[in-house]
Amino acid sequence: MKFIANLRLPFSFGRSSNPAPTRVQRSTMMEYDQPLVWVILLLMLFGMVMVYSASISLPDSSKYATYKPSHFLMRQAMFVGVSILAALVIVRIKIESWQRWAPYLFVGTLVLLALVLVPGVGKGVNGAKRWLSFKVFNLQPSELMKLFMVLYAADYTVRKQEYMHKLTKGFLPMVGAVGAVGLFLLLEPDLGAFGVIVCIAMGILFLGGINGIWFGGIGATLVGLFSLVIMLSPWRRERIFAYLNPWVEENALGKAYQLSHSLIAFGRGELFGVGLGGSVEKLHYLPEAHTDFLLAVIGEELGFVGVLVVVLMFYWIVKRAFEIGRQAIAMDLTFAGLTAKGIGIWIGVQTFINMGVNLGLLPTKGLTLPLMSYGGSGVLINCAGLAILLRIDYENRLRMRRGSR
């Protein structure tokens, strides 16, 4: 009888004045965006496969005669491994720390851009000085600047929010910062990276609520500036004319050589491609097939379907970046929200330019396909930016979980 009296049922008849205590259950919300992580990893692994396919025949040329067929694959695998380890460290850094460091990172990278131009310090390739050599690896400061411009522009917009509609206090200082970056990049020269950085800065300022008149004015000014740079540079002007008509014999054998062979590669690929490893254009016809024109090899070997898969995966990343940014701003995390959207703009713009160049929609520029093209600096900085994006999403989820309890 004593046992029955002490027995507590999991339910009660009627209303109890002393209900049984309930255990607080842990939220089932995932702590990070698993689909986004998988898309990023798949792009990098797919990129490794295509880099191997695009570079396997390079040792047949005199320039790479001492290289093994797997040379670029092994180095890309090392780049990807180091980038993943770096991302695992970066994802643990709080977003408030990035906001605090943003101005210093921007200034430090500006110094590195200046060092590239110093004789004996900067390393030149194909007439362009864009790298700092550290023996074991080469660092491209313009890649760092893409990420740190995202952080700096987001921090600047938050700090100057009350002045965003004013010319002298809200607009001109940012123009000066972007102009300083542009000066160094045009001296390298690296017009493609400057274009991406301008799009990042302008996009974040627009999202941050800059005065529409000033935004339109700077947009028109930049278009005029880029046009002037092209008009005053004979080889850029020749490249534009070649882009407009790549099939003229003089252009096809000159400035439009890469573009014409890229278009041939897409034409051979048709719907499903000629098969993995079956590309003909990579056999010393298409220069830089494993870097800037990797998409052309994908188009030839895997066809329209392969290119469409790549486009959809990049679309997913950009879409998630804007969704994460919108969530952060809705919770009054303005810096985090603008940073997330800035990363989306960066990845989206660079992907669009690279694909546009490969498909003949834009003039040829030396921009790689994010996460996929061969190169250490590019993959590392892409992973760093996406790790920050994942950290923003993680902090969003933490705040939502606390709010739901």
For residue 97, give Cα distances in angstroms to 101, 145, 287, 381: 6, 18, 42, 18
Sheet hosting strand 128-133, strand order edge to edge: 122-125, 128-133, 138-139
Q: What is the mean pLDDT of residues 56-61?
A: 90
Cis check for the bond before 189: say yes or no (omega within 30 of 0).
yes
Residue 356, both tokens: 């546009």
Contact 201, 355 (CB under 8 A): no
Helices (H) and strands (E) in the chain, counts: 14, 3
pLDDT at 2: 46
Contact 127, 188 (CB under 8 A): no
For residue 123, give Cα distances in angstroms to 70, 79, 116, 405: 25, 20, 7, 56
Confidence of residue 365 (pLDDT cuts 50, 70, 90): confident
What are the start-end ranges of the H helices in 208-293? 212-232, 234-244, 249-252, 257-269
Residue 152, both tokens: 């700096």
In the 8-state DSSP scheme, what is residue 39? H
> 138-139 and 122-125: which strand pairing?
unpaired
* DSSP secondary structure string for all residues of 156-168: HHHHTGGGTT-II
> 128-133 and 122-125: which strand pairing?
antiparallel
Residues 6+ apart with CB under 8 A from 117: 129, 184, 187, 188
Contact 85, 102 (CB under 8 A): no
Tell me: the pLDDT tens digits for 71-87?
999 999 999 999 999 99
Q: Which residues pair with 133 in a beta bridge?
A: 138
Q: What is the mean pLDDT of residues 134-150?
A: 87
- Direct distance between the N- and C-terminal alpha carbons of the chain, in angstroms, rounded to an integer: 40
- Give the least confident one: 12-16, 42-46, 265-269, 344-348: 12-16
Q: Does residue 182 carry a pLDDT above 90?
A: no
- The position carrying tokens 């005065």 is 211
Of 339, 328, 321, nearest to 400 (Cα)? 328
pLDDT at 131: 79
Q: Which residue has the higher pLDDT, 164 or 342?
A: 342
Q: Does residue 11 carry a pLDDT above 60?
A: no
Confidence of residue 19 (pLDDT cuts 50, 70, 90): very low
For residue 30, give Cα distances in angstroms to 286, 393, 396: 44, 11, 11
Q: What is the mean pLDDT of residues 109-116?
A: 92
Most confident stretch, 37-46, 183-192, 287-296: 37-46
3-state secondary structure at position 283: coil
The kind and range of the H/E element at 133 are strand 128-133
In the 8-state DSSP scheme, what is residue 36? H
pLDDT at 127: 61
Residue 34, both tokens: 């698993």
Rounded distance between C-alpha atoms, residue 272 and residue 294, angstroms: 17
3-state secondary structure at position 372: coil
Mean pLDDT for the chain overall: 85
Of 143, 119, 50, 135, nearest to 374 (Cα)? 50
Locate the domains of the chain by residue range: 33-90+246-405, 101-232
Confidence of residue 186 (pLDDT cuts 50, 70, 90): confident
Rounded distance between C-alpha atoms, residue 10 and residue 336, angstroms: 45
Contact 367, 130 (CB under 8 A): no
Contact 393, 33 (CB under 8 A): yes
pLDDT at 211: 66
Rounded distance between C-alpha atoms, residue 38 and residue 317, angstroms: 11
3-state secondary structure at position 123: strand
